[in-house]
Amino acid sequence: MPTLRDIKRRIKAVQSTSKITKAMKMVAAAKFRKAQQRMFEMRPYADKMNSVLSILAGMTEGEVHPLLVVRPRKTVEVLVITSDRGLCGAFNTNILKAAMRHVAELKNQGFEVSVSSVGRKANDYYKRRNIVRRKSWSGISGKISYASAQEIAGDVIESYINETVDEVVLIYNEFKSVVAQKVIIKTILPIGSIEETGVEALPTAIFLYEPTQQEVFSRLLPKNIEIQIFRALLESQASEEAARMSAMENATKAANDMIGSLTLQFNKARQAAITKELMDIVGGVEALKG
């Protein structure tokens, strides 16, 4: 049975933990507000750019640009985005489980699958399971920049143009609310047609290209891949901080509940000790009287 000193020591330890989790929640809340603002500002631009290029891609004839070439699928690249840090609940677990399921489905369909990862959590996960990654990036979470998205996009674009891979699939957490994130599995290469993306076509639209159609696609198609990856990184960042806020709030509540339980246990043990001492005193007095 623990002594009063042991219980008191444990109460202090839990109180210290509660202070840490409360502080972490406040830090995550500050980071979340900034990440959420960047994400909301990027969403309309990324959606509109993708829809416009999908419409244009669906109206092209011939091989205008290598990124529009649809080859028979043999090799599929899966790009998984996680965080660099933990203490964010099931945020990384959900992504990694979904990625493993998707990779297994592709392999069952007979495709050759290569995996690339963003975030230290994904890197560590695949290392522990001896899963070879074609490419990995870390140190991006918490300081996302467009340059990071350009680097990742440049790598996957080069792999697609060189026919190392025939399709690139992006897996990340999309922000829904502070308490909910949704795992998104999205094909970013080749650039989807109107039917594949669900974009409503313009039935009688005629587009004029300046300077040329090829020049427009050469500039905008790689840019669109960069934008979609940048958007995914921002979505992942906002989702991560929201998940960390919820996790730290739950941890703080659990610590406070534990403090209450330990305090009750401490009071009961102290009361029992006092009662025992009183009984000893009464017993001693009665012995003297005898």
Q: What SS3 state is found at 160?
A: helix
CA distances, 129 to each of 83, 112, 123 (Å)? 18, 18, 10
Total residue length of the chain: 290
CA atoms of 279 and 6, how far apart (whole Å): 24
Q: What SS3 state is found at 180?
A: strand
The string over 84-119, giving b where at least 16 C-beta atoms fall within 10 Å of a residue's C-beta and e elsewhere, is beeebbebbebbbebbbebbeebeeeeeebbbbbbb
Nearest to 231 by CA among 49, 98, 103: 49
Sheet holding 112-118, edge to edge: 133-137, 112-118, 75-81, 167-177, 180-189
CA atoms of 88 and 32, how far apart (whole Å): 12
Is 88 known to be catalytic? yes
CA atoms of 198 and 275, how far apart (whole Å): 76
- Of 88, 153, 171, 191, the active-site residue reads 88
Contact 130, 123 (CB under 8 A): no
CA atoms of 152 and 136, how far apart (whole Å): 9
Q: Which residues are catalytic?
A: 88
